[in-house]
């Protein structure tokens, strides 16, 4: 009892005396994103550590706001990109997370996964690939022939080529036979469906920090099912479903997380090649294999509210950026 009182007192003391502001973070996020990211617990911890979040007013010039140490953003549109690019030139002392040019790679499902296939990661811990895929820019009637020529195996997942976060960009379907592929609407990507036991790994990356969570995903499609089914079926956003698979009673072969060293190597390389610090990956392990992994999706500034311990990870990350910046400035200016 007494100990609890003591704890309460210490807490109150801290709340009364947060550290002086060390760092001002301007943010430009949609209201939905703001709500899920800037949760009260996170804001509270940030305040204690001397981090202040300030909403950027999009109706006013960015240069007249702040001063900021860091700008966090996730908005789409050419105008905003230009504003940020100009701001980066005139305010080199501000860290813009992340550069708009680098984020652009993730707005197209082909360029998004190109870095993963270029990486060709294969070591003792496993192989990381992208499912076989084909880009269809136009002309739906040509799809069956193109798919046959590329020797893609059915079923195929059809995904809109543009991944800009709009509802339409998440309208995915599963095609069971070649003929029905003509019903699809290009531009899209056709990707081989990889059986993975109905569980997917969401790998969250914040700078050098990595956290993995399990989510329920699409169930395996058996050969028998495939031969008996035809048509194209839209499927809902399974990965968005609230149910986490972290505590579920799953087959250990399906539930085992990807090996840490593999994830570290993958994350480090992708960070470098994409030039991004804030993103997540959807990763699956081929059913029946121990070490064949596929990256199927990469998202910029994902829902960090669902990343375990994001409060500590994110605040430490922000503080670390500024330390590094001060050090770099000191090196260049000699002050």
Ligand X SMILES: Nc1ncnc2c1ncn2[C@@H]1O[C@H](COP(=O)(O)OP(=O)(O)O)[C@@H](O)[C@H]1O
In the complex, which residues of this chain contact ligand X (CB under 6 A)? 131, 157, 159, 163, 170, 172, 191, 193-194, 196, 200, 217-218, 237-239, 282, 284, 296-297
Interface with Mg ion (CB under 5 A), residue from 127, 239, 292, 325: 239
- Which option in ligand X, Mg ion, none does residue 88 bind, with CB closer than 5 to 8 A by kind? none
Is 16 annotated to bind a ligand? Reply is no
The residue assigned the tokens 């500024």 is: 322
Determine phi and psi for 162, rounding to 5 degrees.
-85, 130
Determine phi and psi for 62, rounding to 5 degrees.
-65, -35
**Under the criterion CB under 5 A, does residue 297 sit at the interface with Mg ion?**
yes
- Which option in ligand X, Mg ion, none does residue 173 bind, with CB closer than 5 to 8 A by kind? none
State in angstroms the smallest separation of the CB of 153 from ligand X: 11
Q: Which is nearer to ligand X, 11 or 237 (CB)?
A: 237
**Under the criterion CB under 5 A, does residue 311 sit at the interface with Mg ion?**
no
Helix axes 40-48, 310-333, angle to 10 degrees: 40
Q: Which is nearer to ligand X, 236 or 320 (CB)?
A: 236
Rounded-to-integer distance, Cα 185 and Cα 159, Å: 10
Q: Which parts of 17-66 fold into alpha helices (H)?
A: 31-37, 40-48
**Under the criterion CB under 5 A, does residue 69 sit at the interface with Mg ion?**
no
Is 79 annotated to bind a ligand? Reply is no
State in angstroms the smallest separation of the CB of 160 from ligand X: 9
Q: What is the dihedral of CA 297, 301, 303, 309, to 10 degrees?
A: 110
CA distances (Å), origin 171, targets 161, 187, 201, 287, 299: 11, 13, 20, 25, 16
Quick one: which segment of 44-52, 57-65, 185-193, 231-239 binds Mg ion (CB under 5 A)?
A: 231-239
| Residues at the interface with Mg ion (CB under 5 A) | 239, 282, 297
């Amino acid at each position: 009892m007494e100990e609890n009182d003591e704890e309460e007192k210490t807490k109150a003391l801290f709340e009364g005396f947060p550290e002086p502001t060390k760092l001002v973070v301007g943010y430009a996020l949609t209201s939905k994103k703001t709500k899920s990211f800037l949760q009260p617990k996170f804001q509270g911890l940030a305040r204690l550590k001397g981090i202040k979040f300030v909403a950027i007013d999009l109706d006013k010039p960015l240069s007249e706001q702040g001063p900021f140490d860091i700008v966090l953003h996730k908005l789409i549109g050419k105008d905003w990109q230009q504003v940020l690019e100009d701001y980066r030139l005139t305010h080199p002392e501000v860290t813009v997370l992340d550069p708009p040019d680098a984020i652009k790679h993730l707005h197209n499902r082909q360029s998004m996964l190109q870095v993963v296939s270029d990486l060709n990661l294969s070591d003792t811990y496993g192989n990381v690939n992208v499912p076989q895929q084909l880009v269809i820019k136009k002309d739906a009637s040509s799809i069956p022939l193109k798919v046959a020529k590329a020797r893609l195996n059915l079923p195929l997942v059809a995904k809109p080529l543009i991944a800009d976060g709009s509802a339409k960009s998440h309208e995915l379907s599963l095609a069971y036979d070649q003929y029905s592929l003509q019903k699809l609407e290009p531009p899209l990507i056709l990707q081989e469906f990889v059986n993975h036991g109905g569980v997917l790994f969401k790998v969250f990356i914040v700078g050098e920090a990595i956290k993995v969570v399990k989510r329920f995903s699409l169930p395996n499609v058996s050969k028998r099912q495939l031969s008996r089914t035809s048509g194209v079926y839209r499927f809902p956003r399974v990965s968005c479903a609230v149910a986490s698979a972290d505590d579920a009673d799953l087959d250990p072969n399906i539930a085992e997380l990807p090996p840490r060293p593999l994830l570290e190597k993958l994350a480090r390389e992708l960070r470098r090649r994409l030039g991004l610090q804030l993103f997540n990956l959807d990763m699956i392990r081929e059913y029946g294999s121990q070490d064949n992994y596929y990256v199927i999706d990469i998202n910029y500034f994902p829902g960090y509210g669902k990343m375990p311990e994001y409060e500590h990870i994110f605040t430490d990350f922000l503080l670390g950026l500024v330390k590094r910046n001060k050090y770099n400035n000191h090196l260049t200016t000699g002050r």
